Chain A
Amino acid sequence: MSGRGLDVAGLVMARLADSYRLARAILLDDGEAEDAVQEASLSAWRRRDSLRDETRFDAWFDRILVNQCRDQLRRRGRAVRLAALPIGFEPSAAPPDTGADPDLDRALDALDADHRIVVVMRYWQDRTVDDIADRVGIPAGTVKSRLHHALRTLRATLEAGHG
């Protein structure tokens, strides 16, 4: 059965929360994560003919979403961002709570799109290398090399910042 016979919109809506959390973990930005999910949902709808098997939907949609996140990260890469302060922030106030490990946050933020994606899927979603390869659309060997490179970069960044 092709995607035209499947309820692609229903499948998209059913995993919206998971999709948003994945986009947020990759993009580290709530608003951009919303955009990515919305764009990926539309893209999935347009490409629904390429989905033949409902059981493949999660991996199929993840690949679309990850590609969308990668595109947004690359667009963002054209400019250097100043970290935005939360509304009402004043320099004398406590720094915003961005997680329990701000050094690691900064190191993750410094990773490029391809490496951050595999790190998030491996260490947050606890996916296997083969599963990541399927969802990102790259060979398993490339996933391994990206993970290796990402860990090396993260360690170097943390040690440079004494984190």
Chain B
Amino acid sequence: MDDLELEARLRTHLHRRFDDAPIPSGLVSDVEQSLETAARPVGLATRTGRIRLGWAVLAAALVIAVGAIGLEKGHGATSPGASSTPSPQATASRERDYIVLPPTGASLDKPSAGLATDILGARIGALGIGNFGMGTGYGIELSFESTDPSDASVRAVLGATGDVQVVPLPAADYGEGKLTATIGAPLPKAEPALFGWEGIASIATDTSGSTPGILVTLKPAAARAFGDYAAAHVGDTIAIVLDGRVAMLAVTSNAITSGQIELSGGTVDPAWWPFTEAAAILVGGELPEAWRGASVPVIVPRDQAIAAALAATHGGTVQLASPTVDLGPLAGALRAVWYVDIYQPVCPDNESCISMYVRVRVDAVTGTVIDIAPQGSSVAP
């Protein structure tokens, strides 16, 4: 092929491919908004800027959350090691609350609970929730105020074990008239994995593009294995299998020798795990052994728990409402409960009042009151 032929081929291809590209519907408004914001010298205008700001906010929020947890220790929580009790003003907020229960019979220890909390916190941050509070006791509690993402997404990300396998799909077995790998389903037959977490040095959120992405950095041995495979199988499909089900499918576009793999959005079926969920699980990492098989029950909302507590105490002032995990009536059994602390002023004379302080425990799954326990009293002028 001489230069003229190649030039003609280039012109034909480029015109066919790029002449009539439709403009994304949001681009005009995005740019207009950016320019308007730029005209007002306040704030960050670009999408990238907002993402970077989000991470900065997340870092600040984590610091604040850690500080708040430290302050709240000894504030009346009764479960051993419990470290999270929301502030009084939280009871009037639109907080969304979640409880992660470790598997029944698991041998729990504080280091693994702390590690699980770190992992789940990283997942939630990667999910785009910048400001949240977490506590660890018998279980892990999470609270935040964002309206997104959906409850189902949050619970899926919290409950996933995070076991990952990078599995090449042999072209001889997968393709037209052969086996099919389906996102959200297990592979149709067992395939040897190139590596799992043992081959992965780190996975980080990649915000350099407009679509959500992750950057997987491999350890040297896995990088070599992956490079060798990719060099010999350009165009073949690789499955990222998460907790035994296909989470992402990608094709190798060229030989990969750098030990870094970039995966961006659009690789998964939104009917199953949106990319952000799978990415969040991968960024956070795999739960420690004692927490594999953890569950995230659907719990009654804060307002419902408070209403049940107030009905049981015939009124009072709600001071605290805290989702937590405590020991149930059966030995070793854990349960999700709401602790609702209520003050009830009693004024025997006109001189002073006594504030009676009770804690109502509400079953977080059924919404029924378990018991009411006096916590003490104080004399108020």
Q: Which residue of B lies closest to A101 (CB)?
A: B13
In the complex the two chains form, what is the Cα distance from A41 to B125 in whole Å?
A: 30
A92 is an interface residue with CB less than 8 A from chain B: yes
A residues within 8 A CB of B373? Answer: none
| Contact (Cβ within 8 A) A87 B38 | no
Tell me whether chain A's interface is mostly helix, strand or loop, or mixed: helix
The interface size of chain A toward B, counting residues with CB under 8 Å, comes to 59
B residues within 8 A CB of A32? Answer: 209-210
| Contact (Cβ within 8 A) A72 B208 | yes
Write out, one digit per residue, whether chain A residues 78-122 have a CB within 8 A of any chain B CB (1) or not (0): 111111111111111000001111001110011000000001100
| Contact (Cβ within 8 A) B209 A82 | no
| Contact (Cβ within 8 A) B15 A124 | yes
A residues within 8 A CB of B3? Answer: 151
Give A148 Cβ to nearest chain B Cβ, in Å: 9
| Contact (Cβ within 8 A) B210 A99 | no
| Contact (Cβ within 8 A) A124 B11 | yes
Query: For this complex, into which size category does the number of interface residues on chain B fall?
Result: 35 or more
Write out, one digit per residue, whether chain B residues 4-35 have a CB within 8 A of any chain A CB (1) or not (0): 00110111111111110101101110111011
| Contact (Cβ within 8 A) B17 A80 | no
B365 is an interface residue with CB less than 8 A from chain A: no
Spot the interface stretch: B42-50, B189-197, B346-354. Answer: B42-50
Q: Which of B183, B209, B252 has the most CB of A within 10 A?
A: B209
Q: A87-B269, A104-B10, A124-B15 are in contact. Are A42 and B46 (CB under 8 A)?
A: yes
| Contact (Cβ within 8 A) B15 A80 | no
Compute the total of residue contacts between A and B using a CB distance below 8 Å.
184
Give A22 Cβ to nearest chain B Cβ, in Å: 8
| Contact (Cβ within 8 A) A16 B31 | yes
Within 8 A of A (CB), among B145-189: 169, 174-183
Q: Which residue of B lies closest to A8 (CB)?
A: B35
B residues within 8 A CB of A45? Answer: 35, 38-39
- CB < 8 Å: which of A20, A30, A75 contacts B208? A75
A35 is an interface residue with CB less than 8 A from chain B: yes
Give B222 Cβ to nearest chain A Cβ, in Å: 14
Give A112 Cβ to nearest chain B Cβ, in Å: 13
In the complex the two chains form, what is the Cα distance from A29 to B178 in whole Å?
A: 31
Give B303 Cβ to nearest chain A Cβ, in Å: 37
B254 is an interface residue with CB less than 8 A from chain A: yes
| Contact (Cβ within 8 A) A151 B6 | yes
| Contact (Cβ within 8 A) B28 A90 | no
Write out, one digit per residue, whether chain A residues 122-162 have a CB within 8 A of any chain B CB (1) or not (0): 01101000000000000000000000000100110011000
| Contact (Cβ within 8 A) A37 B31 | yes
Q: Which residue of A lies closest to B174 (CB)?
A: A91
B258 is an interface residue with CB less than 8 A from chain A: yes
| Contact (Cβ within 8 A) A21 B210 | no
Q: A76-B208, A79-B258 are in contact. Are A91 and B1 (CB under 8 A)?
A: no
B260 is an interface residue with CB less than 8 A from chain A: yes
In the complex the two chains form, what is the Cα distance from A22 to B208 in whole Å?
A: 19
In the complex the two chains form, what is the Cα distance from A65 to B1 in whole Å?
A: 33
B residues within 8 A CB of A88? Answer: 183, 269
Q: Which of A45, A85, A120 has the most CB of B within 10 A?
A: A85
| Contact (Cβ within 8 A) A82 B35 | no
User: Which residues of chain B have a CB within 8 Å of any CB of chain A?
Assistant: 1, 3, 6-7, 9-19, 21, 23-24, 26-28, 30-32, 34-35, 38-39, 45-48, 169, 174-183, 206, 208-211, 215, 237-238, 249-254, 256-258, 260-270
